[in-house]
Each structure stands twice: as structure tokens, then as C-alpha cells.
Amino acid sequence: MKPFAPALIILAVGAPAALAQESQPEPPAAADAQLSEPADLSLSYRPPLGWLSNPNEPPKDIFDAIVSGKIHFDNRFRVELADSTGRNSSTAITNRLRLGYETKAFHGFSGFVEMENVATPDRGNYFVPATGDGTSDRTVVADPPGTEVNQAFGRFNIDSLGETRISFDLKAGRQRIKLDDDRFVGNVGWRQFEQTYDSVSVKTDFGVEDLSFFYAYVWSVQRIFGPDGPNPDSDSHFINLSYRVMPELKVTPFAYLLDFEDDDPLNSSNSFGVRMTGDLWRDTDDSEDVYADYELTYARQVDAGSNPVDYEADFFAAQIRVTKESVGHLLAGYQLLGSDNGNFGFRFPLGTNHKFQGFDDLFLVTPNEGLQDLYFGVGADLPHGIKTAFVFHQFWSDEGGTDLGSEYDMVASKAINANWSVLVKAAFFDGHDGQPDVSRIWMQTTFKF
């Protein structure tokens, strides 16, 4: 395993592609919305939670930048109840703690380091195949205990290189990477351990409004199974370019060239595609705010590196969503994960796959026969700030159109305050053609700053 370079969250309810993801920590230069004090603060000034100084005040020197940054704290306690045909039920009680420190930026340079610990009172109540934790006859829950370095990177971030007005954001080290809707590259933020990347990444707009370019070279992937799980070495490249042509159209061509050498050869692949998103209409006045948005994605995937399977497969996704502010939304979508004559299916080895094809995670790895997913959803904003969503999935194989089953997903969340949130979530899969019946229920609370 190559060493990483130690240089120096809450639910978004909506489409299946946005039901559970976490955000990067904001750079120290970002203003806090609650600040109203002038620059010459009195001695009685108390910085926002986690900050060791006023985040709006630039550091005097490099020492001040190091010692006056922000402590990051994120604690998530979860109970997951899981049951699957042919296995005993599981009760996974886990607590995920992240503790990190971010320096202030000094002439654009900053650093961030974060540890992550997952603990459970009884690992025997569930099973994690990737690490061997737990009891093998119980239903799988992919949250093993352990402690690891989650992120550790140095950063150079500047709004303009000289007088060019070209933004530039360079990171080197172990970092979180989330691209577009996390379909191809994500952090798998729903699991207790998240997926991070030992990489060098750069993001810039080349001085062009509404344009964004991202590139990363990845030499290792820290997956969701903690320090004892399979964390493959990599020789991979992420290329993502997006340009908003108009409010109705944002175009994002991409290329993800994945080579996991000899650690995970079946997931070595090259994917080339384009994603288009935008507003279909927006009707806004003093009494209502109704709008519709869409997503379209097409990609072609071929084998690469040491993958022993010679294959080509297509991916297509389409979704439309109509939203009324403070009321809720309706959505409908379809995804095709193609197959090469039943020999191999289109895969997403680095995607946040829990967000797609149902929360029961039956299709984290695409079947060789491929997969079709037709889904419909509704979301409602209830009184007292409670947000809810319901999604129905119907699944078929790509080759032969075999009925594989259907799934019902439900979620409800509430932000108690800016730092504390609670969530209840459930998924029920009715399997056909040999697929198991699976049910899962989650209850969790998160406190973070």
C-alpha cells in the first residue's frame, strides 16, 4: 500500500441522488452568517463554535494561521436494523466520531487533518464480509469498528492568480472528492467510515464565468471498511469539466480512468460521458415558487488496466423533478446500467452507490446482466421543519428484461438547530427471480460543527 501524502454534513431530501451526502469543510476565509461584529472586536467576543479566533480576521503570520484555525467535530450515532432472506437479522449499534483541525489560510496556503473512529458495543450482532467482523450468518451491515486518518491534506486556494482572475484550488494528500451527483465519484457519505482519496487534485475556472474544471490523480483509495478493509492502490485519473450555458442547460463532459492495478482488477475501467442538468421552468412571485429541473447522463465504459474481462457497456440516466417551495416535490426517473451480452455490467466502483437503486443496497455491484431502474418519488415539507421523502423502484435486468423485484424507500429528517439533526429511514425490497427479500430501518442523530 502506498502511503498517503500527509501535507500540510446533513441529509438533503430530494431525488434518490441527493438523499444522503456530506459537504467539505468550508475554508477559513468563508464568512460566518451569524457574525455582525466589526473587525475591532472587544475582548468579550466569542468566535463561532469550533473557531479558535474570529474567522473573518486574517492571520498576522504563519504561526497565527496555524494556531487560530477551526476544530471540526462530527459525531453520528446510529441504530440499523437489517433482515434478509436466508440470514439471521442484525442490530448494528454504531457511533462515528470525526475530529479534525483546519488552519487559517496564509497567502492561500492552509492545512487540514481529520481522524475518524467507529465504535460498537457488540460487533457480533451484524456481519461485515469485507473485514470479517461480526457473525457470518447475520445480515450484512457495512460499518466495521476501527480508527483511521480520514483526511490529511495541504491546500493552496486563491480567487485569482495575480491579475488573471483565474481561480485556483490545489489539494495534496488524503481528501474527500465528490463530483456532480456522486454517481461516478463520491465519498459514500451514508456509511460510518467514508471513502476518501490519496490524491493530488486541482480545480479552476480558467477565468471564465460559469465554467469549472476539475482534475485529480489518485494513487490509493481509502474505502468504507476502515483501516482493516480492502483499500486498493490506484493509478487513476478523474477529469470533469462543466459549463453553464444558460439556466436551462449546464453541460458536464467527464472521463474517469480507473486502474486498481492488481488489488481490484475487475473494477479497472475507463468511463467517458456527458451530464446535462438545468431548469425546465421556474415560476416565481410573491405567493409561490414552483420550478422543475432535469438531469440527463450518458456514458460508455470499457475495461482497462489488468481487468481480465473484455467488455463494453452503456449507462443512461434521466430524471425530472417538480418542486414547490415549502411544500415538497414530485419526481420520476429511469436508469439503465447496461450489459455486454450478459458477460459484464456497467459498474461504479467509486460512486456513492447507496444513493441509487434503492437503500437496501442490493445492486451496489451491477449484475453481469445489467440493470434497469424505473423510480417515482414524492417529498413533503411537514410542520415543525420535518422533511420527508418516499421513493418506489421497479428493477429489471438489461439482458432479457427479467423482473428482479421492487423496493420502497422512506426517509424523514429534522434539523433541531444548526448543529444537531435527527433522521429516520427505511427500505423494503421485495425480491423476484432468486433475489432475497431485504428490509432495513435506521435511526440516527448527528451533532457537528
- Write down the domain spans for the chain: 16-36+68-448
**Which pLDDT score is estimated for 254?**
98
H or E segment to which residue 63 belongs: helix 62-67
Q: Are the CB atoms for 243 and 210 separated by under 8 Å?
A: yes
* pLDDT value for 269: 98
Torsion, Cα of 266, 267, 272, 278 (10° steps): 140
Write phi, then psi, for 123 (nearest 5 degrees): -70, -10
Backbone dihedral region for residue 172 (phi beyond 0: left; psi -120 to 50: alpha; all else: beta): beta
Phi, psi (deg, nearest 5) at residue 228: -95, 0
Residue type for position 240: N
> Per the structure block, which three cell numbers stand in for 327?
411544500
* Predicted pLDDT of residue 111: 98
Q: Which of 133, 300, 333 is nearest to 227 (CA)?
A: 133
d(CA 217, CA 165) in angstroms, rounded, equals 25
Give me the pLDDT at residue 46, please: 87
Here the cell at position 113 is 487533518
User: b/e map of 52-86 (b: 16 or more CB within 10 Å)?
Assistant: ebbbbebbeeeebbbebbbebebebbbebbbbbee
Query: Residue 17: its pLDDT value, please?
Result: 39
Amino acid in the structure at residue 13: V
How many C-beta atoms surround the C-beta of residue 209 within 10 A? 8
Nearest to 406 by CA among 417, 390, 395: 395
CA torsion, points 9, 10, 13, 16, in degrees to nearest 10?
50
Please, are residues 337 and 315 in contact by the beta-carbon 8 Å criterion? yes
Query: What distances in angstroms separate CA 146 from CA 26, 97, 443, one per listed residue?
Result: 27, 11, 21
Distances (CA, A) of 29 to 23, 59, 103, 257, 324: 16, 10, 10, 34, 34
Q: Which residues of the chain have pLDDT under 50?
A: 1-42
Residues 379, 384, 389, CA angle at the centre, nearest 5°?
15
CA distance 102 to 356: 32
For residue 74, give Cα distances in angstroms to 40, 101, 175, 227, 401: 31, 12, 16, 19, 44
Quote the pLDDT of residue 45. Answer: 80
Which set of grid coordinates corresponds to residue 331?
419526481
- Predicted confidence at residue 43, as pLDDT, reads 53
> So what's the pLDDT on residue 394?
98
Non-local (6+) Cβ contacts of 135 within 8 A are 88, 124, 125, 126, 127
Whose grid coordinates read 453520528?
Answer: 76
pLDDT at position 286, please? 54
Determine the pLDDT at residue 52. 96
**What is the reported pTM?**
0.89
Which bin fits 278, alpha (ψ -120 to 50), beta or left (φ > 0)? left
CATH of the domain spanning 16-36+68-448, picked from 2.40.160.10, 3.40.50.1000, 3.60.110.10, 3.30.70.100: 2.40.160.10
